[in-house]
Structure 1
């Protein structure tokens, strides 16, 4: 998916685990299929998961999770990853990596949600709890800055999509939505704690209800609009309104949230359309959902 991606296979993971966590040597190691874009994941035995960055840019995410996840976990209503082992570079692998406790569940599927309204309520509960965290010394969230900071990359993606007619994106329409979001008043209150990457692939459900939220590599503090992604990347229209009402989001924040979600989709689609079908599919869904509100 990316230039500079490090090759990772079962044998490398076995050697890393055996060298640094001999108590787990000999356990089953099996690649876990994933639409994730930054990390490779492997089952380790029945109860653990190994997560290794594919690119240098993901190394900081692993270290940040090791520091902050234990402090966030008791403050959240939903299970999050628990770090069981902090791995170090070895065996030719250049970056830190982690062993986590296995979290059961499945990713929710857009268009196939059995109980979208209860799921929307669960998601709102998680987001509200994140926003209420008061841990000091937080990093800046990966996507937590001003919306205008995304303007150049978003417009470049729109122009790239104009040159891909088979995607059939109404580039004039998405430009109008983007420019409307840019006109929304900026967040002028103190920054809040965010997950900042609430994609369907980072959510686990059981029986349609949210059981876990994973992949906190983008977490930190910033504009609360960053955690409104599920409104357009997962929830149907009626559940979207339940999500908004439960969070009490004002018009400006909702508009910025729509713009952020659209920006991410517009940038992801041309980048992943040939390398990550799940990401490209969700990007197309977001664009349709956002334009459907016009």
Structure 2
């Protein structure tokens, strides 16, 4: 298994097979890699009806534990399927973190299906995503964490500071294609919304293509709920750029009823995530760099249409 991060645990095929073999009856089930853009976990299909999720590092393991706790609370309140936890595995002598097996969900991830989702067909996905976002907002109080300062979906000033960090080059250079002046303009224009008082709502927290499954141009399921949280309602509106083209984005904005300030905060959150992904994953030659690069290009295209 190719390493992505410097501090990864051993997730070699032998390790994955050894984890599966700790569950009676599963030792002979076939394993097949799935998904190309995930970076926190090694994800493999287990047999016909299951999926194995094995964290690559400690932060991902914490996220997985959060996800396992969130799913049973979230599932009754959203209009699409979410993963069902089948088994939670303990650390072993050869692997240091908790891991999990979930029920397999059908559909293609939205990055693999990206050509099918181009405008105008993406407008159908936009309406479905809006339904998901509104359902989360309408859910009763659930036991999920709250986004803090310095986290995406937290107070906007911290999000803008993270964007400035990516722009500074302290974590690595931006690719040559990035118009740094245009990016700085986007950061600057968002400062007007940095002091808004925002009532937090329930959010998925990471609506990017690898976490959204589609069937044709319709939303089929949403996976990876490890970042579910109470957050700025702008956080899940990042989907407007990560998943949707211009026409579909307008449909999405209208359907969720985003005012100018909320949309500006959403743009700022999308920008920070895209910058961080491009800086971190481009030198690692990982497909998530392409995913985040597309989001960044969409943001810049709005500045220079």
TM over 0.5: yes
The equivalent of 2:145 in structure 1 is: 139
Match of 2:261 in 1: 252
**Worse-matched range after superposition: 204-213 or 130-139:** 130-139
Q: Distance in 2 between matches of 1:276 and 1:186?
A: 37
Aligned equivalent of 1:16: 19
Question: Are residues 165 and 282 of structure 1, via their aligned partners in 2, closer, same or farther at CA, if it must alter by over 3 Å?
Answer: closer
1:102-121 paired onto structure 2 within 5 Å: 102-109=104-111, 110-113=114-117, 115-121=121-127
SS at 2:8's partner residue? coil
Name the CA distance, whole Å, in 2 between partners of 1:231 and 1:159: 26
TM-score, with length taken from structure 1: 0.93
Q: What is the CA–CA distance in structure 1 between the aligned matches of 2:227 and 2:19, rounded to whole Å?
A: 25
Residue 104 (structure 1) shift: 1.1
How far 1:49 moved relative to its partner? 0.4
1:72-87 alignment, distance < 5 Å: 72-87=74-89
Shift of 1:289: 1.2
* 1:2 lines up with 2:5 in the alignment: yes
**Aligned with 1:224: secondary structure?**
coil
C-alpha distance after superposition, 1:134-171 (max 9, x if no partner): 2343212463311111233311211329x858522111
- Structure 2: distance between partners of 1:285 and 1:240: 14
Runs of 5+ unmatched residues, structure 2: none
* The one of 42, 47, 67 aligned to 1:45: 47
Q: 2:300 aligns with which of 272, 291, 294?
A: 291
Query: Whose helix fraction is larger, Structure 1's or Structure 2's?
Result: 1
TM-score by length of 2: 0.90
**Which whole-Å CA distance do the structure 1 matches of 2:183 and 2:197 have between them?**
26
- Say whether 1:68 aligns with 2:70: yes
Shift of 1:246: 0.4
Instruction: Report the secondary structure of 1:79's partner residue.
Output: coil
For the pair 1:193 / 2:192, whether they are aligned, the reply is no
Decide whether the 8 Å contact of 2:70 with 2:226 is kept in 1.
no
Question: What SS does structure 2 have at the residue aligned with 1:70?
Answer: helix
Give me the whole-angstrom Cα distance separating, in 2, the residues matched to 1:243 and 1:135: 25
CA RMSD of aligned residues (A): 2.0
The 1:138–1:166 alpha-carbon spacing in structure 2 relative to 1, beyond 3 Å, is closer
Q: How many residues align?
A: 293
